Structure formats: C-alpha cells, structure tokens
Structure 1
Amino acid sequence: MRTTNALRRTATALLTTTAIALAPTALAAPDHAGAGASWRGAWAASPQAPTAPFAPNWSQQGFDNHTVRQTVRVTASGTRARIELSNRYGTTPLRVTGATVARTDKGGAVRAGSVRTLRFDGRPSTTIPVGGTLLSDGAPFPVKAFESLTVTLYLAGRTGPATFHHIAGATSYRADGDHRADVDGSAFKETGTSWYFLSGVEVTGGRDTARRDGIVAFGDSITDGVGSATDADNRYPDELAERLAAAGSPRAVLNHGIAGNQVVNDTTWAGEKALTRFREDVLNERGVRTVILLEGINDIGGSTVDSPVPPTPDVSVTELIKGHRTLIRQAHAKGLKVIGATLTPVKGSFYDTPANEAKREAFNTWVRTSGAYDAVVDLDHAVADPTDPDRILPAYDSGDGLHPNDAGYRAMAGALDLNQL
C-alpha cells in the first residue's frame, strides 16, 4: 500500500516543524510512588509517522474502542518500571483510557497474578498532546534483564493516525472493547508486527540503580533486525546484550533502528532523517553512555532502488561523512562515547550497482581510518564472505543479499570489542 497524498502532506508538515514542536510538548509525569528515583532505559523503539509502504497495518486508521497488547523484552533489571508513550506524529491529542503491564505468557496471554495498572500523574487515564511524549508513573513491578513484559493499552475513543514503530519483529495483538486486565488472550483476534504508541520502558531500583553505562544501537533496518526471526529477539542489539551478560558485564542495550532510515534524507515511510531524530531518540535516553552508529546504506542506495516507495535524493560520500560527523559532535556534547560501524555488504541485493558499491567502500575506508569515532567495529568484515568480500556470507544471509539472518546478527554482535564498550 502506498502512502496517501493527505498523509504525505501531513508528514511533510510535521517534518519541517518537529524540531520546534517536540521540546515544549514533551511531558514527564511525576513518579508519585518513587519521586527522585534514578531511572534508566530498559527497552526502546523509535517512533515513526503512520505509513504502510509494504503491507497493511493499523497505523493509518488508528484505533477506536480497541485494546492493544504489545510484548517487549527488557535488557535491564529493576524493582520499579514505567512506560513511555509517544504521540510524536499524531494529528490529534491521544487519549489513553487505561494501561497495564504484566508478565508475558503464550500468545496474547499474560501470567495470572502479574497484571498491574499503570497510572499517569496519579490517574488511570491520560491525554498526550500532538507531538508529545509521556512517561507513566513508576509501578512496583520488579523485572529482570531479558524478561518479556506485556504492555496493554485501552483506547476507548478514536485516536486518529497512530505514531508507531513499523518493523517490531514481535507480534502485537488487538481486541475490540476493554480487555486491558484480561489474563487470557482469547479476546485478541487480530495480530500485527508493529508497536503502537509504546516507545520505551524504564526501570529503577535494585543494585544497578546508579549505573549509567547503557548502550544505544542507532541505525536502519540492520539495527532494527529485519531478516531475524519474529518473536525470537535475535536482532544484533539483542545478541549484544546477551553477550555482555554472559561475559559478566550486563548492560542495557536499546535499539533505535528504523528500517529504511537515512542519515541525510527525510522519508515519509522510514522515519525522519538521523540528523533530526538523533536528539529525541538517543540524546534524551536515560542511563546511556555509548552509542553505536550503523547507518548510511539507504542514503547510498535510496536514489537507485526500484521499490514501492519514492526514490530519495542522491547522497554523496562527502555528504554522508558530514552527517556522521554531526552525529558524533552531538553525542560528544552529551558526554556519550561513539562507536562507528562499517556498512555491511550489498552484493546480490537491490542496492547492488557499481556506483553504490564504490560509495560503500569509500565510506567504510573513512570509518576505519578517519579517527572521527572513539572506536570502530568492522561489521563489514564480520559478515562478509571471505571468498567474495562484497557479498554477505551465505550462512549469514536472510535471503535478500542485504539483511543478515539470526546467525549473521549473532556474528555482528560478536564482532564488537566489549572492552571498547
């Protein structure tokens, strides 16, 4: 499905005003049950404007008397939890009638006895203004790293187009009416693979309360996990978090990838450009010390690929490097360490042209040799076929020549030097 003309006009207007609008409308609800607590990110997903470039989803029509149940896996422990909801790309104020958090069971079910009502400034319901982001109050809900949580939202009225994250790599569930407190999943007749309104889970409490060593993986579809198995949590940031824990150095790893995203160009279907969204998606994260930058292949190939979405303007290697230098400066100004990643192979994919390959190689040479980053991880070499280095190793290829499979994402996570993190 192509984006409608009306949505394109709305998205374009939002793109030009977001830098001004977001800051004053972002809200942080008081934590009535834990004021002064030191919160840190445990899970995240970057918000996107409503779109359906490849397959139908619920974002463009939104919700009306629906309950939406969504499952996420956290990578940090705590004794209290709260959620972040985003109406960044909404066209009307978002009324959330009620929300719960619970421990995940099978399918759309949750574990009996685990359902907790979430409150917002002490109330069970809340309204999030257009462009706004809201944190719930902290709930007494102990969680462990790598535990799956289910967040359920009841939306009694018409929401209009929904801010969402397109490629979740996880199953979400929808039911008619109010089923926020249901334990079994029988009412949830519809499923999808996107997250709606939910953009973060934070934790506090426990022995790790004071830690400020979280990691943000920032990028496009290869960070987002396209090509990995659904509901398996095998994206490379997931694999990195597991590797750190196995090495005795557990760290929260937050995934801020958006499939199709670009550094230099805005799109209506793959999020605002990295140069715009980096502030909201990365610099505002709590408890983070390091960011891994893996992005640029869509800038290189976006003007040449034949796909259901419109081509984007050509981006030179010089422009791409300038964009990365800007992100590095912004991260350093916030006190973050920056790890630069080389772009992975594209031979045999829809981006495979001599011109695109020359750009990829030139950019990767700059990543390896410029000294612009605090450290470098060579993900290109990590997944390349030694006998044909411009191609992903067949054992690591999801089948499209561009996106790794589960084994490929595991190899990417294994290439990172844990000491550099």
Structure 2
Amino acid sequence: MSSWVAGFRSAVISPYEQIKLNESRSFADQTVRQVLRMAGGGTQVRVRLTNRYGVAPLVVGAARLALRKNADEIVAESDAPLLFEGRDRLVIPAGAEAVSDPIDLAVTAGTDLLLSLYLPESTGLATFSHEPAEIAYVTNGNETAAASLTLSEEVPARFFVTGIDVRAESSVTVAFGDSWFEGVGTTLGANHRSVDYFNERLTDGWAVNQGIAGNRLLSTEIGESGLARFDRDVRAVPGATRVLVNFGINDLILGAMAGQPPATAAELIAGFTELAERAHAAGLVIHAATIGPYAGCVYPGMPIEETLPTRRAVNEWLRGTDVFDGVFDVAAAVADPERPDFIRPEFDSGDGMHLNDAGAHAMAATMPVD
C-alpha cells in the first residue's frame, strides 16, 4: 500500500550565520522559479516550504508546480496551482514550515520539476540551500503561471523549499553530511553530485540528499550541527530506512574562519558513535564514510598540516569500528596513491578539497546499495 515518502530533499541553513560560503537574499514582488530533481517518483506529490530561519512571517501570494521543459520553461499542460488547506495564499510564521495539499502529478526518478513562488511582500533574508549545484530563476511580479519567465536572473541557490513528498511504495536512503553530498565542485545544473550517481546504482528505492556544504558534525555553522539536525533531517524523513553519513573535513578546518579550534579525534569519534547509536535507536541502518583528503586545499588560513594526523586517526578508527552497519572508504577511492592526503588530480575540482564530476562518480561507487 502506498504512503507518503520523501521524493526530493534540500537541507537549509540560516542567512544570519557568522561563517558564510554564500549570501542569501530577500525578495519583494518577485517570482522565484526553482529546479527540483526528483530522486524517486509516485502518483501524487506535495511540496514542503519553510520559513525556519526567518525573523518575520513569509507571505506566499501564489505557488505552482509543473514539469520542466527546458531552463525556466514549464510543460504547460502539467502546470497546477499549489494550495494549502484549500487556499492559494499562504502565510508561514517565522520559524515554521508548511506542507501543500496533494496534487495529482505522476513523476518518476529523474523528473525535473519547476516550483514557482510569488513573494508579494518583503521576505527578509531567505532560509536557503546555499550550495545546491543548481540554479533558481528570479523575475519581477507574479509570473508563476508563465510558460517561461521574462528577463529572469539566475541565482545558484534554493530558497524557502525543503522537499517534495510522493505517494509511493518505496524505502528511502538519506545522504546526510556536507558538501561532498550537496555537490560543491560538480557541474552546475548537471545533476552530477555523488548522490545523483549513487541513485543510478540503486535498484530498490532511492536516496535523497541532505548535504549542507560546510556542515560540521559537532558544531553549529555552517547550518545546525549534524548531531543537532539529525532528528529533523534524517529521522523525520518519511520512508527513511537507511542513512549514509559523510562528515569530518569541516570539523577539522572550517572553524578557523571563526577563530575556533579544530575538533579532536576523541571528539569526532564520540560524535560518530552518538550518531550511530541514535540511528539504531530509530531503527535505521547507518553507514559512514571515511574522511576524504584535503591537503591540497587552496583556501588561506585553514589548519591543514596540523589536522591531517587527526584525519588519519579517525579514519583508522572508522575502518576498524563496528558501531556502524558498514563503512564506505571514500578516502581511499579518491586519494592520490602517491600523496594520500591529497585528492587524485583527475578527481579534484580545482580547490584541493572538493570533488569534480569524475570524483563524485568515484565516491558514489563506494556507497553501499544495500
């Protein structure tokens, strides 16, 4: 019997954080049309909107959903209004979320949908996904029903949306982690993230992407910590039966942007152990990735040399521990054999700490399908 399960997810952050990789923005009397690639399909869909980190109510004057034809152009015959408890206008209080009424729209894995939101009043800085490897189209006025937008601006972020549920019979894997899941370094708009390639390998169910670039397992910013957001972004995902975890690089080096010390091996091991225990308590199977190489990081001010021994120690523990149901060795798969703290040149996006399309493909090959 079919039920509501997650067919698409997009993890969001606050626009008011100290550590930033990308800036949010506000909207007023504008339409935002966003590309949402479905990981799995079903006979009906419902959309999840958010004002989780807003400081004022969010007014949505109109919302529509359609199949994507090309760029910002919709398949006109598929276009349908989104209603919320029967109403086409929605006010989401600060800190709250909303789920649309179901609409009959058959979608399959790999379907691109276009979500159009008209935001008539000033929104303040938007709750957003800051590095989704996809674009949003922004134009003035209410063009939610337009076949294609007039003079649209392209913005590499997502705003006010956390997911789409589908009516289906399926199990869902949650890819939970950082930029190596979200897709930084891969081709914009090409759906070449590691999670996308992983979905091509799955024959039973699908995986939704809850990666946040810069996210840390132990510390807030960028985004709430992995431990803090686990209940919402994994446990509460409808249909979730498994979770794949990729954390560690940011715990070791990102805090330097705010004058914070790196995590220790003992702290990371304790955090990973807690995550495994909480997943098992929720009845979820959990697999963890080894921490990838980053010695070639080109960004100044990062504590690279001093944290590499911690990375090696945690990876040694990961490879030998039984607290997880399995460990997938991403580090070994993408490391330069001659310099194992560095990414292989053919997999390096160019910044020494992110994977390009080929690297994301190699990472996906390590991720367990059952």
Please tell me the TM-score bracket, short chain as reference: over 0.9
Q: Does 1:329 align with 2:277?
A: yes
Q: Does 1:64 align with 2:25?
A: no
How far has the Cα of 1:189 moved from its partner? 2.3
Q: Which residue matches 1:413?
A: 364
- Of 298, 321, 331 in structure 2, the residue corresponding to residue 380 of structure 1 is 331
Q: Which residue matches 1:317?
A: 265
Q: Which residue matches 1:196?
A: 159
Deviations 1:133-160 (A, max 9, x none): 2111110111011010000001111212
Q: Does 1:161 align with 2:125?
A: yes
TM-score, length-scaled by structure 1: 0.84
Q: Which residue matches 1:286?
A: 238
- Of 70, 73, 86 in structure 1, the residue corresponding to residue 50 of structure 2 is 86
Residue 216 of structure 1 aligns to a residue whose secondary structure is strand
Runs of 4+ off more than 6 Å: 52-56
Letter in 2 for 1:276: A
- The separation in 2 between residues aligned to 1:222 and 1:151, in whole angstroms, is 25
Q: Is the 8 A contact 1:41 1:252 kept in 2?
A: no
Q: Is the 8 A contact 2:134 2:188 kept in 1?
A: yes
Q: Which residue matches 1:262?
A: 216
Residue 166 of structure 2 aligns to a residue whose secondary structure is strand
Once the two structures are superposed, the pairs formed by residues 49-128 of structure 1 within 5 Å of their partners are: 49-50=14-15, 57=23, 59-60=24-25, 62-128=26-92
Q: Does 1:210 align with 2:161?
A: no
**CA spacing shift, 1:365–1:261, aligned 2, 3 Å:** same
Q: Over aligned residues, Cα RMSD in angstroms?
A: 1.7
**CA spacing shift, 1:188–1:336, aligned 2, 3 Å:** farther
Residue 73 of structure 2 aligns to a residue whose secondary structure is coil
Q: Is the 8 A contact 1:241 1:250 kept in 2?
A: no
**CA spacing shift, 1:93–1:56, aligned 2, 3 Å:** same
- The separation in 2 between residues aligned to 1:323 and 1:188, in whole angstroms, is 47
- The separation in 1 between residues aligned to 2:131 and 2:255, in whole angstroms, is 22
**CA spacing shift, 1:396–1:120, aligned 2, 3 Å:** same
- Of 117-126 and 402-411, deviating more is 117-126
- The separation in 2 between residues aligned to 1:138 and 1:128, in whole angstroms, is 18
Q: Which residue matches 1:23?
A: none
How far has the Cα of 1:66 moved from its partner? 0.9
How far has the Cα of 1:334 moved from its partner? 1.3
- The separation in 2 between residues aligned to 1:416 and 1:162, in whole angstroms, is 33
Q: Which residue matches 2:11?
A: 46
- The separation in 1 between residues aligned to 2:284 and 2:345, in whole angstroms, is 35
- The separation in 2 between residues aligned to 1:37 and 1:134, in whole angstroms, is 22
**CA spacing shift, 1:155–1:263, aligned 2, 3 Å:** same
- The separation in 2 between residues aligned to 1:407 and 1:294, in whole angstroms, is 18
Q: Is the 8 A contact 2:174 2:240 kept in 1?
A: yes
- The separation in 2 between residues aligned to 1:108 and 1:117, in whole angstroms, is 17
- The separation in 2 between residues aligned to 1:311 and 1:228, in whole angstroms, is 29
Once the two structures are superposed, the pairs formed by residues 336-375 of structure 1 within 5 Å of their partners are: 336-349=284-297, 350=299, 351=302, 353-375=304-326
TM-score, length-scaled by structure 2: 0.95
Unaligned runs of 5+ in 2: none
**CA spacing shift, 1:56–1:226, aligned 2, 3 Å:** closer
Deviations 1:72-102 (A, max 9, x none): 1101111111110111100011111111111
Unaligned runs of 5+ in 1: 1-35
- The separation in 2 between residues aligned to 1:106 and 1:301, in whole angstroms, is 39
How far has the Cα of 1:352 moved from its partner? 6.5
How far has the Cα of 1:403 moved from its partner? 0.4
Q: Is the 8 A contact 2:22 2:131 kept in 1?
A: no
Q: Which residue matches 1:243?
A: 201
How far has the Cα of 1:51 moved from its partner? 5.1
Q: Is the 8 A contact 1:79 1:143 kept in 2?
A: yes
Deviations 1:14-43 (A, max 9, x none): xxxxxxxxxxxxxxxxxxxxxx96100011
Deviations 1:200-233 (A, max 9, x none): 01100xxxx232x211111111111100000000
Q: Is the 8 A contact 2:2 2:169 kept in 1?
A: no
**CA spacing shift, 1:47–1:93, aligned 2, 3 Å:** same
Residue 130 of structure 1 aligns to a residue whose secondary structure is coil
Percentage of identical aligned residues: 36
Letter in 2 for 1:284: A
- The separation in 1 between residues aligned to 2:97 and 2:164, in whole angstroms, is 13
How far has the Cα of 1:303 moved from its partner? 4.0
